[in-house]
Amino acid sequence: MYLILFIGIAILSYVVQSNLNSKFKKYSKIPIASGLSGREVAEKMLRDNGINNVTVTCTQGYLTDHYNPANGTVNLSEAVYNSRSVAAAAVAAHECGHAVQHAVAYAPLTLRSALVPVVSFASNWVQWVLLAGIILIHSMPGILLAGVVLFALTTLFSFITLPVEIDASRRATAWLLRAGITSASEQPMAVSALKSAAYTYVVAALSSLATLAYYVMIFVGGRSRD
């Protein structure tokens, strides 16, 4: 049953990621009527929201766009930073949506940021603790339990990320239309692109939950045989 579930999630993940890449490539070829680059869109959204302590920078990679609250930067990939397309405007505004969340102390983002150090520690050790726990499940079941707890933290982080990403997209698309960055015909494209990105986080959270359930079953099964 779990094998079928994991295969299903893997297929779903592939489909969602392929859809995201397809949408991004498609909308990257459509010039935005306002003529603004991704960098200009980001800088304008920050100004419009009264955020003056965040810098927009260019980073290498494909779809590596992210907001870093630690150093106050909105980091846009090269394909977004210089592009004057619908896709670039949507991605740039989405990342600035996180900066707005930070500025207004959006609760899920605050909680997510607080969990980052803990989840970083858990991610570095969880695979080794789980491996040792499975090997020693009959003699030292506490090790596997510790691994399950660590993995549960990463799963919790995945689910807390969902409202953060969805809200950032909501803020982005509302502002794009309100500020006249996207026209009435371009707005559905921006919404579609960000929805495709959001689906990747949904699949990641479901995959993490399924994996957590699998490890819990191993732990429970090992304890029942004892």
CB 206 within 8 A of CB 9: yes
Computed on alpha carbons and rounded to an integer, the radius of gyration of the chain in Å comes to 20
Q: pLDDT band at 139, cuts 50/70/90?
A: confident
Coil vs helix vs strand at 66: strand
Give the Cα-Cα-Cα angle 68, 74, 77 (nearest 5 degrees): 110
Q: pTM to 2 decimals? A: 0.88
Amino acid letter, residue 216:
V
Q: pLDDT band at 9, cuts 50/70/90?
A: confident
User: Is the torsion defined by CA of 176, 180, 182, 184 positive or negative?
Assistant: positive
DSSP strand pairing (55-59 vs 73-77): parallel
Element at 29 (helix H, strand E): none
* pLDDT single digits (tens) 97-131: 999 999 999 999 999 999 999 999 999 999 999 99
Residues with catalytic annotation?
95
CB 222 within 8 A of CB 35: no
Total domains in the chain come to: 1
* pLDDT single digits (tens) 70-91: 899 999 999 899 999 999 999 9
Q: Evaluate if residue 224 carries a pLDDT over 60.
A: no
Domain that holds residue 117: 2-225
CB 42 within 8 A of CB 56: yes
* pLDDT single digits (tens) 60-74: 988 899 999 989 999
Give the Cα-Cα-Cα angle 187, 58, 68 (nearest 5 degrees): 85
DSSP strand pairing (55-59 vs 66-68): unpaired
